[in-house]
Structure formats: C-alpha cells, structure tokens
Amino acid sequence: MKKNNAVLLSAPYLAWMVAFTLIPLGVVAYYALTDPSSGAFSLGNLANLGMYLPVLWQSIVYSLVSACICLILGYPVAYFIAHCGPFAQKFLYMLVMLPMCMSFLLRTLAWVGLLQDTGIINSLLGKIGIGPLTLIRTPGAVVLGMVYNYLPYMILPLYATIVKIDRRLIEAAEDLGCNGVQVFLRVVLPLSVPGILSGMTMVFVPSVSTFYISQKLGGTDTVLIGDVIERQFKQGNNPNLGAALSLVLMLLVLVCTSILNRFGGDQEEGGVVV
C-alpha cells in the first residue's frame, strides 16, 4: 500500500521530467539527424562536425585552464573561510554567494569596461606611463571572464568539504608526526578530493558551454562551441547543425564529468548544489 502511494506521488514528477528533459533530448537527436531543407533523414549534420573540432578543442582547453585556475585561487579561500569563527564563516560564505545572485551579464559587461583599450585599467596604466595594452579580445580575457564568473562555484563546494573534515584527524596526524605541510598533503588534501571534483565540474560545465563570455571578452579567434551553437539557432538559422553540435557538447560534458567522478569513486554528497 505504501509502495503504491510512493509511485502515485512520484509519477507526475517522473512524467514531467521525461517530457521536458528526456524527450527534448530525443528531439535534439531528431533534428541532428535530419536535413535542414528537406527534413529527410540525413547524416550531413554529423559529417559537418569535423569542421568544428578545433573550436571544440579550444573550448575544452579554455575551460580546463579556467577550472584549474579556479582551483588554485579557490582552495586557499575555501580553506581560510572554513577555519574562521562561525560568525565570520557565515559572513564570508554570504560574500561568496552574493555575486552569484547578481546578473552575470552586467558583471561581464563591467569587465569589458575594465579591459577595453580605452578602459579603466588602461587609463590607470596610462597615468603611470604604461600601455595602452591589448587586454580585451584575447584568450586571456576569456579565461579571466570564466574564472571570474565561476570561481564561487569552486569555492562553495570546496568550503563545504573542508569544513566537514574532522579536526581530530588533523590532530591525529600531528600526533603521529606530520608537520604542517605533511598534514595538508596527506590528510586535508585527500579528504577534500570530493569538493575539488565537484568544484571542477561546476566550473567546467558552464565554462565549456558559455557563449556570452567569449562574445563580450573574446575576439574572432576565441570562438567557443557555445558561440557556434548560439549562432546556428539565433543567427545562422541552421538548427539542425546546432542540434548536432549540442549533442556533441552534451556527450563531451558527460564524458568529462564521468572521468572526473571516476577519479573520486563514489561521492554521495561531495558537492553542494548552489
């Protein structure tokens, strides 16, 4: 009887999710496999994908670099927050969350203002006689945009993992003769692996699929896979090719996240959803 209730309660939800996540993916596959003009079955879209391999590769490289930079920058911050007093922890956690709640479009536009050839940074540099430097429309600017936008997604899961590490383990390690660096390398770091993995995933996935950041901060040679897809739908009007590219992007993310998860084995509650 209880089991029937469970099915009854969850069935509408499951139906909804099938209708609006699984079936749409099926529709994507359908579009990917049909010819844009005739609507007949065709492998033409998939055959065209080869052209976009460099773009795909570039997207992967940019987002992996961004994820690694986020890790290097985010870890000390997360570690610091996790070792603050309870009040400071709450306050700093809030400060990390806050940018995530503000429009990421406007915040990226602010970077345009900062990095432009006539922008704030260059005019400051000009006052001390340097520059103007070419900051915007470079690969560096795109990576900067990614790091800036998705750094909180790294810090929060890292913090959640580090704060849960039992202090007694650190004391035990010290008791057994580890110095500060050894404690970190042998105890703290291995125990933060779940947080590192979910942070990497949470930075990598939106970075690899972004189109806004590369459009605003990148140039003609920093086109990402997200840009290409967006153009197919909103400008190029070849949704079939866009669908094929979306499938590729989805598979790419699936493969990357499962490789990441393979690293950490089972992780039930490694990441927080934010």
Partner 1 sequence: MKQANRVITVLIFVFLYIPMAVLVVASFNTGKDITEFEGFTFQQYARLFQDGDLLELLRNSLIVSVLASAAATVFGTVAAVGIHNLNPRLRKTAMTLTNIPMTNPDIVTGVSLSLLFVFVGARLLGQRNSLTFWTLLIAHITFNLPYVILNVMPKLKQMDASLTDAAMDLGCTPVQAFFRVTLYEIMPGIVSGAIMAFTMSLDDFVISYFVSGLDFVTLPVEIYSYTKKPLQPKIYAMFTLLFLLILALMIAMNLIQIYGDKKKTQSRSAGV
Q: Which of positions 249-268 make contact with partner 1 (CB under 8 A)? A: 249-250, 253-254, 257
Is 14 or 47 the residue whose CB approaches partner 1 more closely? 14
Cα(114)–Cα(228) distance, rounded to whole angstroms? 26
- The string of DSSP letters for 170-197 reads HHHHHHTT--HHHHIIIIIHHHTHHHHH
Instruction: Write the secondary structure of 82-131 as one string of H (helix), E (strand) and C (coil).
Output: HCCCHHHHHHHHHHHHHHHHCCHHHHHHHHHHHHCCCCHHHHHHHHCCCC
By CB under 8 A, which span of 48-56, 125-133, 145-153, 164-172 interacts with partner 1? 145-153
Determine if 13 is a binding residue for partner 1 (CB under 8 A). yes
Is 83 or 186 the residue whose CB approaches partner 1 more closely? 83
Report the nearest approach of partner 1 to the CB of residue 51 (Å): 19
The amino acid that residue 215 corresponds to is Q
Q: Which of residues 146-175 bind partner 1 (CB under 8 A)?
A: 148, 151-152
Is 62 or 104 the residue whose CB approaches partner 1 more closely? 104
Report the nearest approach of partner 1 to the CB of residue 162 (Å): 12
Cα(32)–Cα(26) distance, rounded to whole angstroms? 10
| Long-range contacts, stretch 78-84, CB < 8 angstroms, 24+ apart | 78/154, 78/155, 78/156, 78/158, 78/159, 78/162, 78/195, 79/158, 79/162, 79/188, 81/155, 81/159, 81/163, 82/159, 82/162, 82/163, 82/165
Q: Which of residues 80-119 bind partner 1 (CB under 8 A)?
A: 80-81, 83, 87, 90-92, 94-111, 113-114, 116, 118-119
Determine if 192 is a binding residue for partner 1 (CB under 8 A). no
By CB under 8 A, which span of 14-22, 126-134, 135-143, 161-169 interacts with partner 1? 14-22
By CB under 8 A, which span of 8-16, 127-135, 169-177, 192-200 interacts with partner 1? 8-16
Q: Which of residues 32-71 bind partner 1 (CB under 8 A)?
A: none
Q: Which of 195, 199, 226, 270 binds partner 1 (CB under 8 A)?
A: 226
Report the nearest approach of partner 1 to the CB of residue 16 (Å): 7
By CB under 8 A, which span of 135-143, 166-174, 188-196, 200-208 interacts with partner 1? 200-208
Cα(37)–Cα(95) distance, rounded to whole angstroms? 51
Determine contact, residues 149/108, Cβ cutoff 8 Å.
yes
